[in-house]
């Protein structure tokens, strides 16, 4: 063990950056552990101890994962191998006595064998690394540079991530802070890789497997979706983007310039509906680049990784993203207006056919997601709702209302751009709940009608009151069948309503 520590120490010292936290990670492909070695330099002269903390959750994954449960064999030594005393504090903090040393070595192992986008998984042929459950940060110092170097098995060809490696390496990184490190998963191994450029930006597809990718229309469809998104937001917020997609039971997680997915779909699905679901799924995580990673409720960053981040607006962050993911496919020319309405119909049916709508509001669902993340309690549909579903068709209702109140001069796109430009670009922070509703009123104007519309939409989100769908959708020439909750195009509506609908649905 001592020899392993000294070898890791030599690797750490070979890096050039003066980061005080310098990690090397060895991958145990047999036992399925990440062997982590930290070279820590004191923050100040005479520092007596250091508090190292492991996150208990991952942003975008609104559940307490308790990453410390995977950690074992923690130890701390001087650089010559002399042991240092330490103690565990609560569930996620380790306090190490520096013993008068300026630099110490900390080692531990984390078990990595779970197929989930928020957890690491090691196999003989490759590994997916979720940094939240791998790296500790120093309490009070997580916004400082960190070095990370992975000792990748020699027979693995690729290391894929939104991070750019240190020049001359493929698996060493200098990261500005822990927030960015935790937001940058990696896929390593012999997976399929396609690297290309599009309109001045670099892209990497990292697919495990990717057997059915070549010959498919996926790249063309993905880029059509990207262009449609850029048309809405007027900016591409990254230099490079990495799409990680692995075969599995499903689930995706958004990041600042990447996404990591476990998908049961294929790129050449014989059933068009299955392929559209795959594209919609990937478009959802892509639109999160804007909505939640940059357009965000104020509670969602800077992050406290030791406890939940409660916000009343997750229905907006997730639900409106689901609204836009389908809309991007329509604006990209991938699906028809009828197919788009079919997707939104499914969202309405998922809420209106279950009793939970009478017991939980959208606002409440944003809080209670932390209590039952996947909604797997036996009585879930009787007492609760999914903000993914109701939030998605609220996007449709918001869009329709804004267009009606402004006579087609503004839309939900203008609202999203206002939030992006004001709070992300200018103020560089999230928005409060009141600022959210004020911005909506501002987009619709200063009229009494605009004020009434804001009050109406807020009431729908904050209460379990029944929704008058017909009053909200008929002005944009969309009909709702209350027997099967199917949305259809109303071709007999007044010309003004049809004009608004064509603009909304891109007909």
Pairing of strands 103-111, 93-97: unpaired
Q: Are residues 33 and 118 in the same domain?
A: yes
Other C-beta atoms lying within 10 Å of the C-beta of residue 13 = 12
- 276: in domain: no
Radius of gyration of the chain (CA): 25
Rounded-to-integer distance, Cα 359 and Cα 382, Å: 8
How big, in percent rounded to 5, are the helix, strand and coil portions of the chain?
A: 35, 25, 40
Of 151, 168, 189, which residue is a domain's last?
A: 189
- 73: in domain: yes
Domain CATH for 80: 2.60.40.3650
> Do residues 131 and 182 touch, judged by C-beta distance below 8 A?
yes
Residue ranges making up the domain that contains 43: 2-189
Residues 6+ apart with CB under 8 A from 243: 203, 204, 205, 206, 222, 258, 259, 261, 282
At residue 393's C-alpha, the angle toward residues 392 and 396, to 5°, is: 105
Q: Are residues 15 and 138 in the same domain?
A: yes
Please identify which residue in the block is written with the tokens 């509001």. Answer: 361
Domain count, the chain: 3
Rounded-to-integer distance, Cα 187 and Cα 204, Å: 12
pLDDT confidence of residue 211: 87
pTM for this structure?
0.95
pLDDT confidence of residue 93: 98
- pLDDT tens, 373-403? 888 888 998 999 999 999 999 999 999 999 9
Rounded-to-integer distance, Cα 480 and Cα 490, Å: 9
pLDDT in tens, the chain (507 residues): 444 444 444 444 444 456 899 999 999 999 999 999 999 999 888 999 999 999 999 999 999 999 999 999 999 999 999 999 999 999 999 999 999 999 999 999 999 999 999 999 999 999 999 999 999 999 999 999 999 999 999 999 999 999 999 999 999 999 999 999 999 999 999 999 999 999 999 999 999 999 899 999 999 999 999 999 999 999 999 999 999 999 988 899 999 999 999 998 789 888 999 999 999 999 999 999 999 999 999 999 999 999 999 999 999 999 999 999 999 999 999 999 999 999 999 999 999 999 999 999 999 999 999 999 888 888 998 999 999 999 999 999 999 999 999 999 999 999 999 999 999 999 999 999 999 999 999 999 999 999 999 999 999 999 999 999 999 999 999 999 999 999 999 999 999 999 999 999 999
- 58: in domain: yes
CA distances, 245 to each of 64, 155, 170, 260 (Å): 24, 21, 20, 6
Residues 6+ apart with CB under 8 A from 282: 222, 225, 243, 245, 252, 259, 261, 263
The token duo for 245 is 């997609």
Nearest by Cα to 313 from 297, 291, 325: 297
DSSP secondary structure of 33-63: EEEEEEEEE-SSTT--EEEEE--S-BTTB-S
Q: Are residues 399 and 454 in the same domain?
A: yes
* β-bridge mates for residue 201, sequence order: 198
Q: Are residues 69 and 130 in the same domain?
A: yes
Domain CATH for 415: 1.10.390.10
The token duo for 179 is 């927030």
Exposure b/e, 172-192, CB count within 10 A at least 16 = b = bbbbebbbbbbbbbbbbbebb
Q: Taking the CA of residue 400 as centre, how many other CA atoms within 13 Å lie in the half-sphere pointing to its CB?
A: 23
Q: Are residues 245 and 264 in the same domain?
A: yes
- pLDDT tens, 17-40? 568 999 999 999 999 999 999 999
CA distances, 157 to each of 127, 154, 429, 454 (Å): 12, 8, 39, 54
> Do residues 261 and 117 touch, judged by C-beta distance below 8 A?
yes
* C-alpha of 266 from chain center: 21
Rounded-to-integer distance, Cα 259 and Cα 257, Å: 7
- 278: in domain: no
Q: Are residues 213 and 267 in the same domain?
A: yes
- 281: in domain: no
pLDDT confidence of residue 13: 46
Q: Are residues 79 and 165 in the same domain?
A: yes
Residues 6+ apart with CB under 8 A from 99: 78, 84, 85
Is the peptide bond between 58 and the residue preceding it cis, with omega within 30 degrees of 0? no
Residues 6+ apart with CB under 8 A from 51: 89, 93, 94, 95, 138, 139, 140
């Amino acid at each position: 063990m001592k020899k392993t520590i000294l070898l890791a120490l030599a690797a750490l010292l070979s890096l050039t950056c003066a980061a005080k936290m310098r990690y090397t990670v060895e991958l145990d492909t047999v036992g399925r552990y990440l062997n982590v070695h930290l070279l820590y330099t004191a923050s100040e002269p005479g520092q007596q101890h250091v508090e190292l903390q492991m996150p208990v959750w991952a942003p975008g994954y609104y559940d307490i994962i308790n990453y410390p449960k995977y950690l074992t064999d923690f130890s701390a030594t001087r650089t010559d191998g002399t042991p240092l005393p330490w103690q565990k504090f609560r569930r996620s903090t380790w306090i190490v006595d520096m013993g008068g040393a300026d630099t110490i070595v900390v080692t531990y192992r984390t078990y990595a064998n779970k197929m989930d986008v928020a957890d690491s998984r090691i196999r003989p042929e490759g590994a997916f690394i979720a940094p939240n459950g791998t790296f500790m940060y120093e309490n009070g110092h997580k916004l400082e540079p960190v070095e990370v170097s992975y000792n990748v098995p020699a027979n693995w060809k690729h290391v894929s991530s939104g991070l750019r490696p240190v020049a001359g390496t493929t698996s060493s990184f200098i990261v500005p802070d822990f927030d960015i490190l935790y937001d940058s998963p990696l896929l390593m191994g012999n997976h399929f890789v396609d690297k290309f450029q599009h309109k001045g930006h670099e892209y990497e597809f990292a697919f495990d497997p990717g057997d059915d990718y070549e010959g498919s229309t996926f790249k063309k469809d993905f880029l059509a979706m990207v262009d449609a998104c850029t048309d809405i937001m007027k900016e591409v917020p990254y230099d490079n983007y990495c799409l990680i997609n692995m075969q599995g039971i499903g689930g995706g997680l958004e990041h600042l310039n990447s996404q990591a997915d476990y998908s049961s779909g294929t790129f050449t699905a014989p059933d068009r509906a299955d392929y559209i679901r795959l594209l919609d799924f990937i478009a959802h995580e892509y639109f999160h680049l804007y909505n939640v990673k940059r357009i965000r409720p104020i509670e969602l960053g800077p992050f406290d990784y030791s406890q939940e981040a409660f916000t009343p607006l997750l229905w907006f962050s997730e639900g409106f993203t689901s609204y836009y993911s389908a809309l991007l496919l329509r604006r990209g020319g991938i699906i028809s207006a009828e197919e788009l309405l079919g997707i939104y119909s499914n969202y309405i049916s998922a809420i209106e056919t279950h009793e939970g709508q009478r017991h939980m509001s959208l606002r409440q669902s944003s809080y209670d997601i932390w209590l039952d993340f996947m909604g797997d309690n036996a009585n879930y549909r009787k007492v609760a709702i999914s903000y993914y579903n109701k939030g998605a068709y609220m996007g449709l209702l918001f869009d329709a209302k804004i267009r009606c109140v402004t006579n087609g001069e503004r839309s939900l796109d203008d609202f999203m751009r206002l939030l992006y430009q004001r709070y992300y670009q200018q103020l560089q922070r999230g928005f409060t709940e009141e600022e959210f509703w004020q911005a909506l009123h501002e987009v619709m104007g200063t009229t009494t009608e605009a004020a009434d519309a804001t009050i109406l939409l807020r009431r729908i989100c904050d209460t379990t009151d029944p929704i008058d769908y017909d009053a909200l959708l008929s002005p944009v020439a969309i009909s709702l069948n209350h027997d099967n909750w199917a949305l259809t195009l109303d071709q007999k509506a007044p010309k003004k309503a049809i004009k608004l609908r064509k603009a909304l649905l891109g007909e």
